[in-house]
């Protein structure tokens, strides 16, 4: 049984969606970030940077933090969404999510959504970076069904919950035809709908 240390954020949802996709039994342990649960000493033994998501695989006695590492672990354990003959491409797009797409959209959330008016420089910088990411992803998805080629993979699972914050981004997802096609298709997957609302608060995937 996998225990998922979770909050309703894009990084948390990557793992709840993956667990639903691979149909593993899991227990959700919610970490209330607003109350500072992430700094509890027991949690920090598993996640030394005090961040969700993290997992404990109680059967195999393995604990992991960092969503990319967790996705690779679950993909290898289940044999799903991480084809051996396509790992260079999947790793590349997974790292693009971990190193660029997530952190940059995360900064855009901070300046544009949570703290507008506090820093003109920060707002402009991350708005522009977010727009460029939408454009680049859209161009890529014109040539590719999914991020890493013809098949849905952990790279898509990692990226989807970030694009699901498109209302916060104010960039107009509908104007990006290929990114919208990718988003709508993934939005319809039963496991994605379930994993998006892992904490069962009735949260729906935002429509375009």
Ligand X SMILES: N[C@@H](CCC(=O)N[C@@H](CS)C(=O)NCC(=O)O)C(=O)O
Applying CB under 6 A, among 3, 24, 28, 50 the residue interacting with ligand X is 50
- In angstroms, the CA 106 to CA 113 distance is 10
173 burial via Cβ count (<10 Å: 0-12, 13-18, 19+): buried
The one segment of 16-24, 48-56, 77-85, 113-121 that binds ligand X by CB under 6 A: 48-56
Instruction: With beta carbons less than 8 A apart as the criterion, state whether 28 and 4 touch.
Output: yes
> Site mask, ligand X, residues 75-114, x = CB under 6 A?
-----------------------x----------------
CB 6 to ligand X: min, Å? 10
Q: CB nearer to ligand X: give 9 or 78.
A: 9
- Which residue reads 């914050």 in tokens? 165
Burial-class residue 207 by CB neighbours within 10 Å (0-12, 13-18, 19+): exposed
Residue 63 touches ligand X, criterion: CB under 6 A: no
Choose, by CB under 6 A, the member of 29, 66, 78, 91 that binds ligand X. 66
Cis bond upstream, residue 53 (ω within 30): yes
DSSP letter (8 states) at residue 171: S
Q: Count of residues binding ligand X (CB under 6 A)?
A: 11
* Cross-strand pairs, 4: 28, 55
**Nearest-approach distance from CB 106 to ligand X, in angstroms:** 7
Interaction pattern, residues 7-46, with ligand X; x per rule: CB under 6 A: --x-x---------------------x----x--------
Strands 2-6 and 26-30: parallel
Q: Which two tokens stand for residue 146?
A: 């999914």
- Bridge partner residues of 202 (DSSP): none
Contact region with ligand X (CB under 6 A), list: 51-59, 77-85, 122-130, 176-184: 51-59
Q: Is 159 in the site for ligand X (CB under 6 A)?
A: no
Nearer to ligand X, 2 or 52 (CB): 52
Would you count residue 67 as binding ligand X (CB under 6 A)? Answer: yes
* Phi, psi angle pair for 7, to nearest 5°: -140, 160
Task: List residues binding ligand X (CB under 6 A).
Answer: 9, 11, 33, 38, 50-53, 66-67, 98
């Amino acid at each position: 049984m996998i225990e998922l240390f979770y909050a309703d954020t894009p990084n948390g949802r990557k793992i709840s969606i993956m667990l639903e996709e691979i149909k593993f039994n899991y227990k959700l342990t919610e970490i209330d970030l607003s109350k500072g649960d992430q700094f509890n000493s027991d949690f920090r033994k598993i996640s030394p940077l005090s961040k969700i998501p993290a997992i404990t695989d109680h059967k195999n006695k393995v604990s992991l933090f960092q969503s990319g590492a967790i996705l690779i672990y679950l993909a290898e354990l289940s044999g799903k969404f991480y084809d051996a003959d396509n790992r260079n491409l999947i790793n590349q797009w997974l790292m693009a999510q971990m190193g660029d797409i997530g952190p940059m959209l995360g900064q855009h959330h901070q300046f544009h959504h949570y703290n507008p008016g506090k820093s003109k420089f920060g707002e402009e910088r991350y708005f522009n970076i977010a727009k460029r990411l939408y454009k680049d992803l859209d161009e890529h998805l014109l040539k590719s069904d999914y991020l890493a080629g013809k098949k849905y993979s952990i790279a898509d699972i990692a990226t989807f919950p970030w694009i699901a914050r498109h209302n916060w981004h104010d960039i107009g997802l509908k104007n990006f035809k290929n990114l919208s096609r990718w988003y709508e298709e993934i939005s319809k997957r039963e496991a994605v709908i379930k994993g998006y609302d892992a904490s069962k608060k009735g949260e729906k995937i935002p429509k375009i």
